[in-house]
Amino acid sequence: MKKLRFLADGMLGKLTRWLRMLGQDVEYVVAMEDKALIQKAKGTNRILLTRDLQLFQRAIARGVEAFLIEGTDEAENLASLAERFKFELEIDLKISRCPKCNTRIRSVRKDNVIDKIPETTSTHYNEFWECPNCKQIYWQGAHWKRIEKTLRKARKALKT
Ligand SMILES: [Zn+2]
């Protein structure tokens, strides 16, 4: 799989978290002027993701690879990105990155996190992952059904 690196602008926080879960390397910049953002994408060799047509056109004009996000929901956006950049719309936690900070998460033993998670969680789940950077702990909890649903929708959008 080709290693992709993205730079997402401030409007794409939610999409950034999705892409990171899918294993994509996404730097997220909250407040930066267009010119600086384009410079940064160029300097760090990242593909600029934006909803802003003007910013997109400016980036292209300066020879920076960019992708215009035009979908109305996450499923649609993920489908168009997967189509353009050829990645799987399937979460594999072995390659997932922390949605919060973009660091690769790693599998951790339950014993090591047991005092950091709710008791009901530790009785229902056995597999846990931790971000070595921000220490956030992840597991495939009740919210996982919603995640899968969105991905199914995205995969469906991909086929049509
Ligand atoms: Zn993290």
- Please write the tens of the pLDDT for every residue from 25-80: 999 999 899 999 999 999 999 999 999 999 999 999 999 999 999 999 999 999 99
Please tell me the pTM assigned to this model.
0.93
Cα–ligand 1 centroid distance for 60 (angstroms):
31
Token representation of residue 145: 């059904």
How many angstroms separate the alpha carbon of residue 90 from the centre of ligand 1? Answer: 20
Kindly state whether residue 47 falls inside one of the protein's structural domains. yes
- The rounded Å distance from CA 63 to ligand 1 centre is 32
Percent of the chain with pLDDT over 90: 84
Q: How far is the CA of 18 from the centre of ligand 1 (A)?
A: 14
Q: Are residues 20 and 71 located together in one domain of the fold?
A: yes
Protein residues with C-beta less than 5 angstroms from the ion ligand 1: 98, 100-101, 103, 131, 133-134
- Residue span of the structural domain in which 153 resides: 106-159
Mean pLDDT of the chain: 94
For residue 142, is it within any domain?
yes
Contact indicator for 1, 26 with CB cutoff of 8 Å: no
Q: pLDDT class for 2, splitting at 50, 70, 90?
A: low
Distances (CA, A) of 117 to 65, 125, 142, 146: 41, 11, 14, 21
